Chains A and B, each alone.
Chain A
Amino acid sequence: MRDAARKIVPISDPLGQGLLQRIGNTPLLRFQRVTQNPKGVEVLAKAEWLNPGGSVKDRAAASIVADAMRQGKLGPGKTLLDSTSGNTGIAYAMLGAAEGFPVALCMPANVSAERSRIVRCYGAEIVFTDPAEGSDGAIRKARELAAAEPQKYFYADQYSNPANWRAHYHGTAQEIWRQTDGSITHFVAMLGTSGTFVGTSRRLKELNRNIRCISLQPDSPFHGIEGAKHMPTSIVPQIYDPATADENVFISTEESYAMMRRLAREEGVLAGISAAAAMVGSLRVAEAAKSDSVIVTIFPDAADRYLSERFWEEL
């Protein structure tokens, strides 16, 4: 039988050669109704659920993985280990499958069914931790496993790893600058590990020192804004730098739920909880901002990761 020469089929406009090239370069959304104001202040949001793993965390995870591989910390015989309440775990699991390394994740047992199923689909291992201990319990478990078997694991440690914020310094900030043609006046983002806020703000201020960077936090340690962190009562992530924020605004869970509903019903945008919280914060910043300000925020993920949760029943 004649061997056919292997042909590469040309594809017009390919989206990169591999998974890592498909991360980032997310659209910047403009809204019709929710953001309308008489001052002409623009509020725009990065649609981060359009990353291949479905959230902004693809950026940090890819940066952490690439950095670890470069330094020889992740390679044959090593398993990537970290604690996560969901999105970062999904990103790691996806990268592990695409790049060929095993992944072990410590997650609180009350993560939504969507999250644990997605992670398992990619083939990652989950160690469930006590839900009453929240993310703190998952962090402690990951540290324990890493200390017990240092040869087996590369402990990615998203809360301390500078590759996390660097993803946004090199990626997110540059995209925002380009997409607004340098006209951005305010950057607003929710704090979780703080990588998005710190990395993006750092670079934006280098590009234009007059850009105001406003961080957002939940208004209580007991809250429902998934992925977000109330810094005053938390073990502060090592990568957090409060000096990058010109201002901080506290957002309530209930306001975020109400905004999720508005974004879905008035804009056709099924944004996630922290995205809705980011819009609440951005509108608050818009109230005080000068005319013709350009406010950019981050929508970390979409509502599909939260559909099984109780608040949807009344949304």
Chain B
Amino acid sequence: MKVLIPAALRQYTGKQSAIDLPPGTVEDVLRQLTSQFPELRKQLFGDDGTLRKFVNLYLNDEDIRYLQNQNTAVTADDTLSIIPSVAGGCVQPD
């Protein structure tokens, strides 16, 4: 499966905008992502270990809060997009 990284987080993934990972639940995928790129953990998760409130996750085109949240199954053909709530301004192009 593929995780799509928003522009504001690409500085933590060596500028990569898409990361290939094995399928699993959303929770599994995020654990693998942050173990591969540890700096992402502090950006995505609060001190209490939960996903920060402005971070939205989409399985293909569906917001996971309307699916099974972090238990949502992600198959090999799926894409998980990390989308921050819209903020003004822009990030420098790579």
Contact = CB atoms under 8 A, between A and B. Distances in A.
Q: Tell me whether chain B's interface is mostly helix, strand or loop, or mixed.
A: loop
Interface of B: 4-9, 11, 17, 43, 46, 52-54, 56, 65, 81-93
Interface of A: 85-86, 108, 110-112, 131-137, 139, 192-193, 218, 220-231, 233-235, 237, 253-254, 257, 309-311, 314
Given A139-B90, A234-B90, A309 B9 contact: no
A137 B93 CA distance: 10
B53 A135 contact: no
A222 B84 contact: yes
A222 B43 contact: yes
B9 A222 contact: yes
A193 B89 CA distance: 7
A106 to B, nearest CB: 12
A234 B92 contact: yes
B17 to A, nearest CB: 7
A122 B12 CA distance: 40
A131 B81 contact: yes
B86 A111 contact: yes
B85 A229 contact: no
Given A134-B6, A221-B11, A310-B65, A229 B89 contact: yes
Contacts of B9: 222
A235 B5 contact: no
Contacts of A112: 85-86
A221 B8 contact: yes
Given A110-B56, A136-B7, A226 B81 contact: no
A104 to B, nearest CB: 18
A117 to B, nearest CB: 15
Nearest to B89: A229
Given A132-B4, A134-B8, A223 B90 contact: no
